[in-house]
Structure 1
Amino acid sequence: MFKHSMKIHSKLILTLLTLLTVSACGGTSTTPTTIQTTATIFYAHSLVFKNTSTLLSTGYNGFGQLGTGNLGNRSVPGGLNSYYPFRGYAAGGDHSVAFTNNSSVIYSWGYNGFGQLGNGTTTYSSIPVRSGTVTGIVAVAAGALHSLALKKDGTVWAWGQNDVGQAGTATGDTSGFITTPRKINGAAPLANISSIAANGKHSLAIAKGGALWAWGLNSNGQIGLDPSGPMQNSFDPVNISMYYPSSIASVTSIAAGTGSSYAVAANGTLWAWGVNDNGQLGNGTTTSTHIPVQVKIDALTYLSNVVQAAGGGQHGLARLASGEVWAWGFNHFGQLGSSQPDSSYAVKVTLPGSATDIRAFGASSMAMVNGAWYVWGDNTYGQLGVGTTGTVTTPTKMSGF
């Protein structure tokens, strides 16, 4: 079985022996530049809405994932080379995906070595390109090299890399990837889905009623199965709520870290499982487990009244009903909101007000406070959008907000 270590600081390194045809505008070109490249997945770009439909991007742009029509990095959020009014979005390893306001169709841009742009090719694009013909999209999610989309009818569609089942289907070929969106039809029907999440090489979904489904890589138990058992990885979605009725029988919110998973239970408790080498499960240990463990503040106190979680490369975030934000795990880049050492317990992040949204990606963190994004953590490529590069250890307002 495939074993994969998701040991990430600010980046996940994958060596790909491939040639990519490059065009300055990202499409086909009569005079392409062919480069030999070793692809590096940085998780080093971010996307934000300035208002309800104007999508901005900042950070690393080596494969056009900022959608600007060029490959230049930037450290201040700016617009895309696109006139599409977007309603939702997700940032993957080196690609981006979004869906439109009116007809709810999917557009993607950036790295496409495994078909993660969904346009039937493996040529990357620095401008948004249509991803298949699926319509009626209400949410999207992006992993390292794959993408998910949720339709309003409750079905989930996936495309991109599928070598360990992260796209939720046996491809029937040896390529290990899917270049156009494909409906996930597992051995057990994946239907009536209300929420999706993806990171690294695994995917999660919540069905109406609160059941949690997971599929893809399971090298560290991140899909809730025993990695030493017969199902190290799963190409079919698995209802893992039925295995853990005392913890995640009914889930209201989910998040995927690169090698870990998070679920907010209906009672406001937060549960985590998967890799834990830097304390990213938040239970006071550094022992990885496929069995959900409850996130703690200290040895005796559990985090409670949680409404949202977010997963980065090796750290996690939680937002409480009060608007407080807590963080745990790896802190080499200040992604916990301070310059303190790593923490296997949740620590409170100091913010200027109550948060209404949170994000985590790579070794970076974000929180929405009073309509503005506050950011902290890894900023090597300007992914925090503060106008400079370099580590940011305390929450700082993103430029333009």
Structure 2
Amino acid sequence: MRSASPWSARVVGLLATILFLPWEAYAQCSTDVGTYLSSISRLYEGLDYERALEQIASAKRLTRGIEDDVVLTLYEGIVLADMGKSDKATAAFKAALYLKPDAKLPVQVAPKVVELFEKVREQVNPKPAPPLAKKEPEPVRPAPSEPVAPRPPEIVGAHKQKPFDMNQGAMSLRISAQDAQDSALRFSWEANTGTLETPASSATTSEVRWKVRGCVPEGLTPTVKATVTNSQGLSVSTNFTVYATPCIIQEAGDQHSLRVQPDGTVWAWGNNTYGQLGDGTTAHGAARVQVRNLRGVTTVSAGGSHSLAVTNDGTVWAWGNNGFKQLGIGSTTNHSMPVRVRNLSNVVAVSAGGGHSLAVTDDGTVWAWGSNRSGQLGDGTTIHRSMPVQVNGLSGVVAVSAGVHHSLAISNDGTVWAWGNNDSGQLGDGTTTNRSTPVQVSGLSGVVTISAGHLHSLARLHDGTVWAWGKNGTGQLGDGTTDTRLSPVQVSGLSEVATISAGGGHSLAVRNDGTVWAWGSNSQGQLGDGTTINRSSPVHLTVLNKVSTLAAGMHHSVALQKDGMAWAWGSNKSGQRGDGTNIDLFTPVPVIR
């Protein structure tokens, strides 16, 4: 059977959403959340409650306003109720009804769920007492006044401003409230990550700007809680789900791999010829070793034979091969333990290439150092640099990716910029001309994720589709051909994609449902489908599910599940899989938790 095209899949998904949702609920949701709702509806109808909850959590990162928050929270309550978790379901229903007192359930449910929902509605919005029967007036008699029980304030509006872009962790939040006693209201805000600027509050409203510097830990859903308190000390709260880029905590280089642990330490395994494992030696590691003298790490990147890390103070640390000055320390001396990159601070993201390095600072500028033979540093020259130089003409950048000899960046308007080697069209500007300053990738907008491979490039759009360009000799562009493309083409048969990674000659993707898909070169089993057959269209790795992130190395692949279990497959000659062996494997095997 021919695979459905991304467009037809999207149409089917939206039709499913329309069928399962009341029209008014569907019409008021944003397009992004509507796409997720089709998947949530299918999973709910199929009784796959755990995956439905995962999809709801993912969709909450993309909400645009109160209607999105309400319908997703209602779905959460419905699923929890069907799972028998009535307390959690009650809390979800309350949260939705506080935001929208007249909210309706978005799908047909069992009578017991309807009963629970209406019971919660009565608690949140008690019905007025019925009018008394009319009777003859009685003589007015003085009666002792009875005190009216004080009531908490009521949140009557909650608004989440659409972010300027989905990569930046910054958003304005606003609530409005009223009080039955007309007492003075006090507003307070708190966040589980990031920082809050000073709120601007009036008698009945409060607005605050939330932001996060860099990425947030993988698996953490950033939330902001708003609380309104009246003069009687009674309060009511509501939660906003906000968005920030997840930290890269698992990375695959040419022949080595890195992993950030929850305690902020970094562990490495694989080839260590140049000290790229950071353990103070040059001994290869089939089993993982801890990178020395490094704490508080938020994100890492593994290059050809060097490694980079960003710590929570915004500094960058590098180790491994320095033959092309890619460690950024003013020399060409290799280092088997981390050294601090010079003249660089307030960094939020890094990427290690074949022999060069990239960094984004919190002001949106890009800095580069190391090999510059093809102009991959973007400073208008081909001179190698031993310390960071600013990439020309770029501002408002939110993410970068370094290939072997080329570089990519996403601007906050969703456009992609490229520079460096272009022999195979990997810059995507319709030519094969090398560029020493950034040029715009043609025909792409709304991009949220990029990945630069050896001679090809990938981009994930806001609508969940994946686009590719550059060399395609082994099918790494995933368009069903092996034709080189000088401008982006859509990867066939993929939709609702959450994460992408481009390797030496292969490509990987994780969909929103946690499934893994692979295409391209498979000479050493790096696609993980049990064969060594190259694939020009994505194939599904059925052994993996609930995957949160992955990375493609030169000839191997690694993935991390949501429960913390790591998997690897493909080439293992240097122990880069981290399973304690040096044997190539053609299907994923568990590595570490």
Same fold? TM cut 0.5: yes
Going by fraction, where is helix more abundant, 1 or 2?
2
Kept in 2: contact 1:312–1:361 (CA 8 A):
yes
Counterpart of 1:395, as a letter, is P
Written as runs of structure 1 = structure 2, the 5 A alignment for 1:49-128 is 49-101=260-312, 103-128=313-338
Matched, 1:333 2:524: yes
Counterpart of 2:287, as a letter, is V
Kept in 1: contact 2:266–2:294 (CA 8 A):
no
Matched residue of 1:271: which SS? strand
Q: For 2:386, which of 148, 173, 179 is the aligned residue?
A: 179
Counterpart of 1:178, as a letter, is R
Unaligned ranges ≥5, structure 1: 1-41, 297-301
Kept in 2: contact 1:109–1:126 (CA 8 A):
yes
Alpha-carbon offset, residue 351 of structure 1: 3.3
- In 2 relative to 1, CA 83–222 (structure 1 residues): closer, same or farther, beyond 3 Å? closer
Q: Which has the higher contact order (CA 8 A, sep 6+)?
A: 1
Distance in 2, matches of 1:83 and 1:111, equals 18
Matched, 1:347 2:539: yes
Aligned to 2:343: 133
Kept in 1: contact 2:314–2:345 (CA 8 A):
yes
Q: For 1:145, which of 349, 355, 370 is the aligned residue?
A: 355
Alpha-carbon offset, residue 372 of structure 1: 1.5
Kept in 2: contact 1:350–1:395 (CA 8 A):
no
1:293-325 Cα distance to aligned partner (Å, 9 max, x none)? 1111xxxxx211112110000000011111111
Counterpart of 2:387, as a letter, is T
Q: For 1:288, which of 478, 484, 491 is the aligned residue?
A: 484
Written as runs of structure 1 = structure 2, the 5 A alignment for 1:263-282 is 263-282=459-478
Q: For 2:573, which of 380, 391, 400 is the aligned residue?
A: 380
Going by fraction, where is strand more abundant, 1 or 2?
1
Alpha-carbon offset, residue 227 of structure 1: 3.5
Matched, 1:306 2:497: yes
Distance in 1, matches of 2:285 and 2:577, equals 10
Distance in 2, matches of 1:350 and 1:61, equals 32
Aligned to 2:438: 237
Alpha-carbon offset, residue 350 of structure 1: 2.2
1:115-167 Cα distance to aligned partner (Å, 9 max, x none)? 00000001111111111121111111011000001111111110000111111
Alpha-carbon offset, residue 360 of structure 1: 0.6
Kept in 1: contact 2:255–2:270 (CA 8 A):
yes
Aligned to 1:358: 550
Q: For 2:403, which of 182, 188, 199 is the aligned residue?
A: 199
Counterpart of 1:209, as a letter, is D
Kept in 2: contact 1:279–1:343 (CA 8 A):
yes
Matched residue of 1:335: which SS? coil
1:376-395 Cα distance to aligned partner (Å, 9 max, x none)? 11111000100111212111
Counterpart of 1:72, as a letter, is A
1:325-352 Cα distance to aligned partner (Å, 9 max, x none)? 1000111111111232111010001234
1:190-236 Cα distance to aligned partner (Å, 9 max, x none)? 111111111111111111121111111100000012345xxx11111
Kept in 1: contact 2:260–2:300 (CA 8 A):
no
Aligned to 1:36: none
Distance in 2, matches of 1:351 and 1:148, equals 34
TM-score (norm 1): 0.82
Unaligned ranges ≥5, structure 2: 1-252
Which is higher, the Rg of structure 1 or of structure 2?
A: 2
Aligned length: 339
Matched, 1:218 2:436: no
- In 2 relative to 1, CA 319–352 (structure 1 residues): closer, same or farther, beyond 3 Å? closer
Q: For 2:452, which of 245, 248, 256 is the aligned residue?
A: 256
Counterpart of 2:323, as a letter, is G
Distance in 1, matches of 2:566 and 2:413, equals 32
Aligned to 2:7: none
TM-score (norm 2): 0.56
